[in-house]
């Protein structure tokens, strides 16, 4: 086995360093490790629309371009989350400028993992309602809900990713939960 074909653990510094030196196998492992997280984040922000997959792909293009300068001050997953949120917010601004309405489409599975619908298929309607409710939130609220509730980042991590004070994160989360409660009241 050649040195360039040697596997590495994607979140390790060794794998990142190898990818920085041009090891395509190491970069491929980084992408494989993080593509689900990045795609889920983009779909959470944008809905299950083709633009979400475009954003996810663009995240890895940006990573590839920026990798030589990646210092490792933050975990790679945090770095990718920040890129995904920023690109999603840019897409939302672009939509707004063009005056496009959001469309709600279903893909192969639910975008928000509330619970396993295979075990309880009657809950699919609730998951669909939750996904649509998320799309009704403003982007600033959607980003906080996605990072805090769906991805499990702490208030501090969310504040760091979004570049906001922790108090702003807490208040946006509280207001977003209030709005979601009102939107989802008929389902609950």
Do the beta carbons of residue 63 and residue 16 sit within 8 Å? no
pLDDT digits (tens, 9 = 90+) for 66-103: 998 888 888 898 899 999 999 998 888 887 766 533 33
CA quadruple 53, 59, 61, 62: dihedral, nearest 10: 160
pLDDT at 132: 83
Kindly report which listed range (42-51, 101-110, 165-174) carries the lowest average pLDDT score: 101-110
Percent of the chain with pLDDT over 70: 77
Band (167; pLDDT cuts 50, 70, 90): very high
CA-nearest of 186, 42, 32 to 111 is: 42
pLDDT at 113: 35
Over the range 46-81, which residues count as b (16 or more CB within 10 Å of their CB) and which as e?
Answer: bbbbebbeebbbbbbebbeeebeeeeeeeebbebbb
CB-based contacts of 182, cutoff 8 Å, min separation 6: none
Mean pLDDT, rounded, for 116-141? 71
């Amino acid at each position: 086995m050649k040195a360039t074909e040697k596997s590495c653990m994607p979140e390790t510094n060794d794998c990142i360093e190898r990818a920085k030196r041009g090891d395509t196998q190491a970069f491929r492992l980084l992408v494989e490790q993080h593509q689900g997280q990045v795609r889920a984040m983009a779909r959470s922000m944008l809905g299950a629309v083709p633009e979400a997959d475009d954003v996810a792909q663009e995240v890895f293009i940006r990573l590839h371009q920026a990798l030589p300068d990646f210092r490792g001050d933050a975990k790679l997953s945090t770095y990718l989350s920040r890129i995904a949120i920023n690109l999603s917010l840019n897409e939302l601004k672009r939509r707004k400028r063009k005056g496009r309405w959001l469309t709600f489409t279903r893909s192969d599975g639910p975008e928000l993992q509330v619970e396993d619908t295979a075990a309880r298929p009657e809950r699919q309607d609730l998951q669909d309602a939750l996904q649509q409710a998320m799309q009704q939130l403003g982007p600033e609220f959607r980003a906080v809900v996605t990072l805090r509730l769906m991805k499990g980042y702490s208030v501090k991590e969310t504040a760091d990713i979004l570049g906001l004070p922790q108090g702003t994160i807490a208040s946006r989360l509280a207001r977003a939960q209030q709005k979601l409660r009102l939107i989802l009241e008929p389902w609950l």
